[in-house]
Amino acid sequence: MGELDQEYIQELEHRPKLDTIHVEGIPLVDLSSFNSPKQDANGMSLLVAEISDACRNWGFFQAINHGVPTRVREKISLASRKFFALPQDEKMKVSRSEVDIFGYSDHEVTKNVRDWKQVFDCTIENPTIIYASDKPDDEELKELSNQWPDYPPELREACEENAAEMQKLAYKMLTLIALSLGLPEDRLYGLFENQTSFMRLNYYPPCPAPQLALGLGRHKDAGGMTILAQDDVGGLEVKRKADGDWVFVEPIPDAYIVNVGDLIQVWSNDRYESVEHRVKVNSEKARFSIPFFLNPSHNVWVEPLEELVDDQNPAKYKGYSWGKFYATRKLSNFKKLTSENIQVHHFKL
């Protein structure tokens, strides 16, 4: 992806204006009290309150003192850069398809417009079980496995080590989010057995027309939660709930960016909201990032949690199958969409 062809320029002209403000950004949350061998009750109470405020007011926060070893992050960062530096024909040997939906792609689509980036996806449960089709009455299942390139040889190990650490961090966040909703700390754990979570390596090449292009168009995350490691180039922007302004997320060394997805919005019955975000590109520097998408099992039925629904707060969503939703979204990656992709608001009551 180098020169801007005419077709792509026409697509880019439909991009929104890239007006961004640089202010004090999304909340910063220190997880020290959670990771302490002797958890202090007062410290945990304050932390849970911070998580509640961040999820309610922003849907995003940056986590520091999270417990993920620096060497793990450095290892996958180096392996990722080596992979994306390969010749295109080498990367295409592990390209994604309708059969192998995990692997390499340089043709991401958001809002029916191509994004300026390359990706490599790998699933966490290997193999991962999903529905074979998005048809409501089709119960056939299929197994999805990872494709690994021959080079760099350390990529697989780096991805698997990083995925293990992201799992640990994700369950810490599930604990804190559950507590912030007044639920038992393990209330959300069972929803993620035999999960459909996956991890993505993102590469945003320098773009000759950054005022026109987006590395990733505005969108919300459909799953439970996303945990993102970004480099020092930056580019992530969050749509602030208070006024709709786009706020730049300043890179903080060693921090992870956490955002709640559509599923937590539904489970919390709109107490917490999944928020739009996007990625700007850079004209001079490449950007690398690594998101971990925490998703439940294909057989999870998604609806507001019964503990958070009563006569004063009736359910705001009708239930839906995560497995069928996931199958629809994944299969749409390989089709030219003529209408809006399925979204959580389609299930709003």
Confidence of residue 339 (pLDDT cuts 50, 70, 90): very low
Angle at 164 between CA 160 and CA 166, to 5 degrees: 115
User: Which structural domain range is residue 57 located in?
Assistant: 6-347
pLDDT at 50: 96
With cut-offs at 50, 70 and 90, classify the pLDDT of residue 14.
very low
Q: Is residue 215 part of a domain?
A: yes
Label residue 185 by pLDDT band (50, 70, 90): very high
Specify if 203 maps to a domain: yes
pLDDT surpassing 50 at residue 2 = no
Q: Is residue 53 part of a domain?
A: yes
What residues contact residue 278 under an 8 Å CB cut-off, 6+ apart?
214, 216, 217, 218, 219, 236, 237, 239, 246
Whether residue 306 is contained in a domain is answered as yes
82/154 Cα distance (integer angstroms)? 10
CATH number for the domain including 322?
2.60.120.330
Per residue in 75-133, pLDDT (tens digit) is 999 999 999 999 999 999 999 988 888 999 987 665 555 688 999 999 999 899 988 88
How far is Cα 170 from Cα 163, in angstroms, rounded to an integer? 10
Give the largest CA-CA distance in the chain. Answer: 60
Q: What is the rounded radius of gyration, in angstroms, for the C-alpha atoms of the chain? A: 20
Report the alpha-carbon distance of residue 171 to residue 120 in Å, rounded.
Answer: 24
Average pLDDT on 176-200 reads 97
**Domain assignment present for 233:** yes
| Number of folded domains that form the chain | 1
pTM above 0.85, yes or no: yes
DSSP state of 83: H
Q: Is residue 331 part of a domain?
A: yes
Has residue 224 been placed in a domain?
Answer: yes
DSSP helix/strand/coil, 262: helix
Taking each helix axis from N to C end, the angle separating 70-84 and 155-180, rounded to the nearest 10 degrees, works out to: 130
For residue 47, being part of any structural domain is answered with yes
